[in-house]
Structure 1
Amino acid sequence: MKKLFSILFIFCFSFVSAQQSPNTRWTEAQADAWYAKQPWLFGSNYNPASAINQLEMFQEDTFSPEEIDKELGWAEDMGVNTARVYLHDLLWADSEGFKNRLNQFLDICAKHNIRPVLVLFDSCWDPHPKSGPQRAPQPGIHNSGWLQSPGASALNDPSQHPRLEAYVTGVVGAFANDSRILMWDVWNEPDNTNDNSYGKNHLKQEPENKREKVAMLLPRVFAWARAAQPSQPLTSGLWIFNKNRDMSIPENWSTTEKIQVENSDILTFHHYSDAESFEGVIKQLQTLKRPMICTEFMARGANSLFQTHLPIARKYNVGMINWGFVAGKTQTYLPWDSWQKPYINGRVPKIWFHEILKTDGTPIDPAEIAAIKAATGKTK
């Protein structure tokens, strides 16, 4: 009997411990409680105007706290309270220096009352990242120097995965209890194969079976991040929507989407289409019973606008983070089609695609600033 009691005790203890483990996805109640403590969230996907990509933002030789301080001051004046900021696994080669610079960046954010979402990996654009000096922008092309993380070589080579794990556990672990950070976005658009840009350029060929390889690695990345026991929630955002696919039905999810939904504490998504479509997506995703943040939107050429979308987001209490803050070396004020037809030799876009401010801090459209301030409650 004593032996049976001991066995039952161990079983019960193990069950309770598993239920309370910090290494599991948050419950709906935990997610709702966290979100209830947040203000209505608004910000931009941010990197300084002088940085063409994640490495140029955070490498020692090009890290510019003065510029970041100036630009985030402009953001604070609009009522911005968050920002989505991309990191990169290659930065971990200088782990102590990178952590120091990230800490300095977080201090600047805190000075301006901005709590960022930090992105660990990204499947978009150039699959062959290299540390060191970064190339100049290609004239007339949208996001011509942005980098995938991990790059194709690391994604193809399982022997590099321990290095990726060290990066994830190292950076999340270093800031796991840091109240300056809002959330960790573990992988941006993981199943994006860049078919309209680098994917068709044989010099920058995507890995074979990229989606399958990412789907194998993505659950491990969530597990690595959770192993660091962050106090902040984890997420990876859905980004493929169309009118013929109801995302409230799990049977309609791809393999990658299923991993994203079932591992994200807070539900995030991207949306670059009109207001009617935006509201429809929100209604579909509401059935998943998680707080929602739209971590990419605002493409003027796709009718994704501050004036139309922010009132809808406030109605449903959906946080909003648009792509692009200050025009600079990323050139994301140019449309996506610039990959096929660069805006050179006098060819200019009719409207700016992304970005809120010109490089000098003046708004592209004062009416947008008024809409942002109305949504954020910034009266001065």
Structure 2
Amino acid sequence: MASREFCSCSERRPGMRYRIAIAWCVFYICCAVPGQVCVRASDSFAVDYAAIRGANYVPSYASTSIGTWTDFQVEAVDRELAFAKRLRLNSVRVFLQYVAYEKDPAKFLQHLEQFVAIAGRHEIRPMFVLFDSCFGKEPMVQDANSEMWVNNPGFSRIASDDWSRLEAYVNDVVTTFAENPQVLMWDIMNEPMADFEHVTRQERNRIWKFCRHFCRIVKTKDPNHTITVGHAVVEYIPKTADLVDVLSIHSYARYEDWLQQDVDLAWNYGRKFGKPVIVTEFGNPGAGQKYEMALDVIERNELGFYFWELMISKVMFKDMAGLIYPDGTVRQLGPVARLLHEKYDSATDEPPVIHDFRQRTKGGIPLKQPRDATPLRVFLSQPGQWRPFVDKAAAAPRTKANITAAIPTLALLGRYLGRPDPEAQEVFELALSIPHHFRLGREEQAVQDFEKLVRIVSRTLKSPNPRFAPGN
């Protein structure tokens, strides 16, 4: 099927990679709308959301959003956006970085303009992500080549009473492209609640205040372009739905029915708020979600999308996801064939060439093997097991081991029974925060949150509303 056109680390503490991997495991487990076309004052800024075919893009030379811009490489970007065009993509989602701007505002803006021009030559319209909470590591210019992803702008700046420098950054970026329809839209903040270093209620509320503030700022500075917020799980959509133009979901659900239920919940919010829906992150075979399955669900629902991610390179997720190596070979031909709607059976077909993409046969980065989620899936299908499990968790001694072992199942069940009510969001947030309270030495808070989690799940057992099962 032809591409549809738009209408108009530095060193971390020992074990941090392991902790983040565990956090993401919890993240994945716990974790008709009025029009899919947004018509702006000028047709050149109109967006057919269902027509978006995109990828998240971090250039192959960079391991962080800092390095993307401080080490900007025109030739690499040009080559890799050519790969995107060969995949019939028409957009890329790209992470900006305040500290790269702070180092040299003029050069940063120059690189942005170069990026937009290169993308335009490949008929690609970028979505720029202004801020990003993942995963709590404070950004510093010297961390451009960090093995760990860094957030943007860093919680220390979010916690400050003075956001004037951040407002200047946003003003310079947004006004530079306010009259340029080659930029598709603005993502104000990627996954606001994915900061694993700041998980208290006060800290989370501060992040939401920051995110909502800059939603308003961007719409004031640039009324032409639409805005969104890329939420880590569907339950967070109501936090910013009143301020954005399009609802944006991330789902790494490993099963087709779970992904469909995430989509159903997103559509439910779309109807409630009168907003269209897009999927701005999906695809994580190393955690169990195959690209082919996810694309089947997304295209069946006529949703615009951005998969994670275009390149296999230096980013910390390189053994979890990504399609194309820097030399243009691919890790797997199946996802490429599915994107291009070509027939390919990896069990019977010799590795062919699909639109000039060849599968790398040696020297690549193998995908991680996903953890087995079958026990959780079986548990969810057996309602008779739910109450005994919750009662056992409630009665068990409040040790770190007991609490940690119970969280994934409690989170899955609580979200399954609680959706679409706000309690499902609280279940996810508690389940995500408890392990980090333990890690940060807040054992008393971890126990208090666990007891609250058990109470909520127990309460939902009495009045279940399992219309929208959890996907992450």
1:112–1:70 distance in 2 versus 1, CA, 3 Å: same
Alpha-carbon distance in structure 2 between the residues aligned to 1:166 and 1:133: 23
Q: In the superposition, relative to structure 1, how do residues 125 and 268 fare at CA in structure 2: closer, same or farther (>3 Å)?
A: same
Q: Provide the secondary structure at the position in 1 that maps to 2:58.
A: coil
Of 128, 131, 139, the match for 1:118: 128
Find the counterpart in structure 2 of residue 189 from structure 1: 191
2:322 aligned with 1:355: yes
> What is the CA distance between 1:240 and its match in structure 2?
2.1
- Kindly report which structure 2 residues correspond to 1:291-330, keeping only aligned pairs within 5 A, or say none: 291-330=276-315
Rounded Cα–Cα distance in structure 2 between residues aligned with 1:368 and 1:136:
29
Say yes or no: does 1:333 pair with 2:318: yes
Question: Where does residue 276 of structure 1 map in the other structure?
Answer: 257
Encode CA deviations 1:216-272: one digit per residue, 9 max, x unaligned.
21221111101112411000023225xxxxx5xxxxx6xxx4332121101111000
Contact 1:152 / 1:207 at 8 angstroms: preserved in 2? no
- Pair 1:98-2:108 in alignment: yes
CA distance in 1, matches of 2:36, 2:219: 15
CA contact (8 A) 2:36 2:277 kept: no
What CA deviation, in whole Å up to 9, does each residue of 1:143-179 have, x standing for no partner?
A: x1x21112122122112x1111111122111111211
Give the TM-score normalised by structure 2: 0.60
TM-fit CA distance, 1:37:
3.8
Which one-letter code corresponds to 2:322 in the other structure?
E
Q: How many residue pairs align between the two structures?
A: 302
8 Å contact kept, 1:357–1:364: yes
Partner of 1:259: 239
**Equivalent pair of 1:169/1:227 in contact (CA under 8 Å):** no
The SS at the match of 1:121 is strand
Write out per-residue CA displacement over residues 74-124 of structure 1, whole angstroms, 9 at most, x where no aligned residue: 111111111110001223322222111100001111111111110000000
- AA paired with 1:152? F
Aligned residue identity for 1:119: V
CA apart distance, 1:208 = 8.5
Q: Is the 8 A contact 1:272 1:299 kept in 2?
A: yes
Question: Is contact 1:238-1:260 (8 Å) kept?
Answer: no
- Output the CA distance in 2 between the equivalents of 1:228 and 1:219: 15
How far 1:207 sits from its partner (Å)?
8.5
Structure 2 residue ranges without an equivalent (≥5): 1-32, 41-45, 343-353, 357-472
Q: CA RMSD in A?
A: 2.5
2:51 to 22, 33, 40: 40
Are the counterparts in 1 of residues 192 and 231 from structure 2 also a CA contact under 8 Å?
Answer: no
Determine the C-alpha separation between the residues in 2 that align with 1:175 and 1:36: 16
Report SS of the residue matched to 1:360: coil
- Structure 2 Cα separation of the partners of residues 31 and 264 of structure 1: 14
Residue type of the alignment partner of 1:98: F
Cα deviation, residue 136, structure 1: 4.6
The CA deviation string for residues 163-212 of structure 1, in whole angstroms up to 9 with x for no partner, is 11111122111111211111100001111232xxxx3xxxxx77883212
* RCO higher in structure (CA 8 A, sep ≥6): 1
The aligned amino acid for 1:188 is N
Q: Give 2:338's aligned residue.
A: 371
Q: What residue number does 1:157 align with?
A: 160
The 2-side partners of 1:88 and 1:148 are apart by 8
Aligned-partner Cα distance in 2 for 1:177–1:147: 30
Contact 1:193 1:210 in 2 (8 A): no
**Helix, strand or coil for the counterpart of 1:262?**
coil
For residues 19-72 of structure 1, the C-alpha deviation after alignment (integer angstroms, 9 at most, x for no partner) is: xxxxxxxx956954467645621221101111111111112xx11010011111
TM-score (norm 1): 0.73
Structure 1 unaligned residues grouped into runs of 5+: 1-26, 138-143, 200-204, 242-246, 248-252, 335-352
Cα distance, 1:301 vs structure 2: 3.3
Pairing partner for 2:216 from 216, 220, 223: 223
Structure 1 position 302, deviation (Å): 3.4
Given the superposition, is the C-alpha separation of residues 215 and 70 from structure 1 closer, same or farther in structure 2, using an over 3 Å criterion? Answer: same
Q: Using the aligned pairs only, state the percent identity.
A: 25
| Residues 1:174 and 2:185 aligned together | no
